[in-house]
Amino acid sequence: MSASVQSWTDRLDGKQAADVSALLERATAADGNAPVSEQGVHAVSGAGSAGVRHLVETDADRIVGYAQLQPGHGDHPAMAELAVDPEARGRGIGGRLVTEVLSEGGPDARVWAHGNLPAAQAVAQRLGLTGARELLQLRRPLADAELPELVVPEDISLRVYRGVEDDPEILRVNAVAFAWHPEQGSWTEREMAERRAEAWFDPSGLFMAFAASDEQRLLGFHWTKVHPKQGDEPAIGEVYVVAIGPDAQGRGLGRLLTLAGLHYLRDRGLGAVLLYVEGDNASALHTYDRLGFERFHTDVAYARA
245 is an annotated ligand-binding site residue = no
pLDDT of the residue at 90: 95
Q: Return the closest-CA partner of residue 2 out of 86, 64, 84.
A: 64
3-state SS assignment for residue 220: strand
84 is an annotated ligand-binding site residue = yes
pLDDT of the residue at 252: 93
HEC profile of 81-98: EEEECHHHCCCCHHHHHH
Q: pTM of the prediction?
A: 0.86
253 is an annotated ligand-binding site residue = yes
pLDDT of the residue at 207: 99
99-123 pLDDT, tens per residue? 999 999 999 999 999 999 999 999 9
255 is an annotated ligand-binding site residue = yes
197 is an annotated ligand-binding site residue = no
> Which domains does the chain carry?
5-127 (3.40.630.30), 139-298 (3.40.630.30)
pLDDT of the residue at 203: 98
252 is an annotated ligand-binding site residue = yes
251 is an annotated ligand-binding site residue = yes
DSSP codes, 242-256: EEE-GGGTTSSHHHH
Segments of the chain with pLDDT less than 70: 1-2, 47-49
82 is an annotated ligand-binding site residue = yes
38 is an annotated ligand-binding site residue = yes
241 is an annotated ligand-binding site residue = no
Crossing angle for the helix pair 93-105 and 118-127, to the nearest 10 degrees: 60
Q: Return the closest-CA partner of residue 260 out of 223, 235, 294.
A: 223
Q: How far apart, in Å, are the Cα atoms of 288 and each of 22, 85, 145, 181, 274?
A: 35, 35, 15, 19, 11
**Do residues 227 and 199 lie in contact, with contact meaning Cβ atoms separated by under 8 Å?**
no
Residue 265: CB atoms within 10 A of its CB come to: 24
pLDDT of the residue at 113: 98
Say how far apart CA 67 and CA 83 lie, in whole Å: 6
